[in-house]
């Protein structure tokens, strides 16, 4: 049913009487079937009215005609739904429409009405209205986004009427706003990730010795490779240390703090600096790891880490070491690579357990490789497969060509790890 004011009767077939029991809504499939079967010759007017009503509901749109001479208005049924009006209230006159428009959008409506009055072609604009409704027993209003297309009907001395097609696009605009907000949040996350990565790299570079070069120590050379994770968010707490001690031995250590980003780097810095201070006591590697474990358990909340700590005596080649849940070093001798048997030791911060000490004597042409799990682990391969691949590749490491050998090793195992840092120390004796 449509609303009529001022005695205006449109030259359109009447719509179904709203007082009758409405038929159940057609599904999209039923509508397509009826459209493809051709017009109903017996009831052309009723069928056209029914299809028009469905089209309005599906598109959330309605149409209107405003007579500029009499001021009368004629609305389709769904336009009442869009404006939140009842049929007894009747349609809104064109001159009264600004009262329903959001004040900030009034210039848009005024321009639209001016253009339709002065022109001969359809014009369109988008504006917001306040739609009346009921909530919790009291009248409420809500903002709706409308797209209006208006077309003047020429008369003898200017437009005689205005035809309008109005669509409620509130849901579309809400979806666009959600998408826009999601893009904004994603951009903020990316920008923050870039800042965090920059700060993390700067902090790590300030803490660790320069990677990618050899560290020359008394009768010992240590080649270092530190390969950051490809993903910015995956920068971790891998660390290493190679430093001479007052008694002539060399401290060699490598470790990995669980987690990624600034927290992991901060925890790594505390463990590494603590080890440097504790190493001045000259005590064995197992005792140093026990102290680091106490630090992780009692002072670094929710921190767990793995580590290998050892002392190399360059004069005798003896390497004494202990480990805390870390992968054992690899010894390359005469072109054959093998992992050293691991002494007992649990992850730092996991509990109070003793650490055992192990010993191995290096020869002049041996290469001792300490590494973090980022070298061997990948998301799509298990640890055993990665370790086997690494052992096969490290067989080519030679004491006289360690630098290029490390680069070939990294390439052989698949390059940088997307998910985790990788740190390598290749230790050789020099006489």
Number of residues that this document lists for the chain: 431
Full-model pTM: 0.58
Domain ranges in the chain with CATH number 3.60.40.10:
208-429
Q: Which CATH superfamily is domain 208-429 in?
A: PPM-type phosphatase domain (3.60.40.10)
Rounded to an integer, what distance in angstroms lies between the CA atom of residue 346 and that of residue 401?
34
Mean pLDDT, residues 257-276: 87
- pLDDT, mean over the chain: 83
Rounded to an integer, what distance in angstroms lies between the CA atom of residue 69 and that of residue 93?
12
Which ranges of 153-260 would DSSP assign to H, the alpha helix? 170-207
What was the pLDDT predicted at 262? 77
| The pair of three-digit structure tokens given for residue 391, joined into one six-digit string | 């052992």
Most confidently modeled range among 26-30, 119-123, 357-361: 357-361
Question: What is the residue whose two structure tokens read 């609305």?
Answer: 75
CB–CB of 15/74 below 8 Å? no
Band of the pLDDT at 418, cuts 50, 70, 90? confident
Which contacts of 275-283 are long-range, i.e. CB under 8 A and separated by 24 or more positions?
275/241, 275/251, 275/309, 276/241, 276/243, 276/251, 279/243, 279/245, 279/251, 280/245, 280/246, 282/245, 282/246, 282/247
Q: How do residues 45-63 score in pLDDT, each as one tens digit?
A: 566 667 777 777 878 889 8
Q: How do residues 59-112 score in pLDDT, each as one tens digit?
A: 888 989 999 889 899 999 899 999 999 999 999 999 999 999 999 999 999 999
What was the pLDDT predicted at 20? 42
What was the pLDDT predicted at 352? 86
- Is the pLDDT confidence value at 234 over 60? no
- Is the pLDDT confidence value at 136 over 90? no
Q: How do residues 170-207 score in pLDDT, each as one tens digit?
A: 999 989 989 989 988 988 888 877 777 677 666 666 65
pLDDT: which is higher, 208 or 244: 244
Element (H, E) at 148: strand 138-155
| The pair of three-digit structure tokens given for residue 250, joined into one six-digit string | 């060399």
- Is the pLDDT confidence value at 8 over 60? no
Band of the pLDDT at 14, cuts 50, 70, 90? very low
- Is the pLDDT confidence value at 30 over 80? no
User: 30-55 burial, b if ≥16 CB within 10 A, otherwise e?
Assistant: ebeebeeeeeeeeeeeeeebbbbbbe
Q: How do residues 387-411 score in pLDDT, each as one tens digit?
A: 999 999 998 899 999 999 999 999 9
Domain ranges in the chain with CATH number 3.30.450.20:
3-168
> In 10 A of CB 194, how many CB atoms?
11
Rounded to an integer, what distance in angstroms lies between the CA atom of residue 66 and that of residue 71?
7
| The pair of three-digit structure tokens given for residue 138, joined into one six-digit string | 């009291």
Query: Could you tell me the fold of the domain covering 3-168?
Result: Beta-Lactamase (3.30.450)
CB–CB of 374/238 below 8 Å? yes
Secondary structure letter of residue 325 according to DSSP: S
**Exposure of 268 by Cβ count < 10 A (0-12 exposed, 13-18 middle, 19+ buried)?**
buried
Q: How do residues 310-357 score in pLDDT, each as one tens digit?
A: 999 999 999 999 999 999 999 999 999 999 999 999 999 998 889 999
């Amino acid at each position: 049913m449509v609303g009529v004011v001022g005695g205006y009767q449109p030259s359109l077939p009447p719509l179904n009487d709203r007082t009758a029991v409405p038929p159940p809504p057609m599904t999209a499939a039923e509508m397509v079937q009826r459209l493809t079967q051709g017009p109903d010759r017996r009831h052309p007017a009723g069928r056209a009215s029914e299809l028009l009503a469905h089209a309005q509901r599906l598109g959330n749109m309605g149409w209107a005609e405003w007579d500029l001479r009499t001021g009368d208005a004629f609305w389709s049924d769904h336009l009442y739904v869009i404006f939140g009006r009842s049929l007894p209230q009747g349609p809104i006159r064109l001159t009264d429409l600004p009262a329903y428009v959001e004040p900030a959008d009034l210039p848009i409506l005024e321009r639209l009405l001016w253009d339709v009055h002065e022109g001969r072609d359809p014009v369109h604009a988008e504006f917001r209205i306040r739609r009346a409704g009921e909530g919790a027993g009291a009248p409420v209003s809500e903002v709706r986004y409308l797209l209006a297309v208006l077309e003047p009907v020429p008369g003898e001395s200017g437009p005689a009427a205005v035809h309008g097609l109005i669509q409620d696009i509130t849901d579309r605009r809400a979806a666009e706003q959600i998408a826009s907000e999601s893009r904004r949040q994603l951009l903020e996350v990316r920008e923050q990730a870039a800042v965090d990565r920059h700060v993390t790299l700067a902090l790590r570079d300030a803490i660790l010795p320069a990677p990618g070069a050899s560290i020359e120590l008394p009768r010992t050379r240590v080649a270092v490779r530190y390969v950051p994770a490809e993903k910015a968010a995956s920068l971790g707490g891998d660390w290493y240390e190679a430093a001479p001690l007052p008694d002539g031995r060399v401290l060699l250590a490598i470790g990995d703090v669980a987690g990624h980003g600034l927290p992991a780097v901060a925890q790594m810095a505390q463990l590494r600096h603590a080890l440097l201070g504790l190493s001045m006591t000259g005590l064995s590697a197992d005792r140093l790891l026990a102290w680091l474990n106490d630090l992780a358990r009692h002072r670094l909340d929710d921190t767990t880490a793995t580590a290998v700590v050892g002392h190399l005596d360059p004069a005798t080649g003896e390497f004494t070491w202990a480990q805390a849940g870390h992968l054992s070093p690899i010894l390359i001798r005469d072109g054959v690579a093998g992992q050293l048997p691991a002494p007992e030791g649990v992850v730092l911060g996991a509990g109070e357990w003793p650490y055992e000490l192990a010993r191995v004597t290096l020869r002049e042409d041996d290469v001792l490789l300490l590494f973090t799990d980022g070298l061997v682990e990948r998301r799509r391969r298990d640890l055993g497969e990665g370790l086997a691949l690494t052992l096969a590749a490290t067989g080519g490491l030679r004491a006289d060509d360690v630098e290029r050998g490390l680069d070939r090793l990294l390439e052989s195992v698949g390059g940088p790890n997307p998910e985790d840092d990788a740190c390598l120390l290749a230790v050789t004796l020099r006489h």
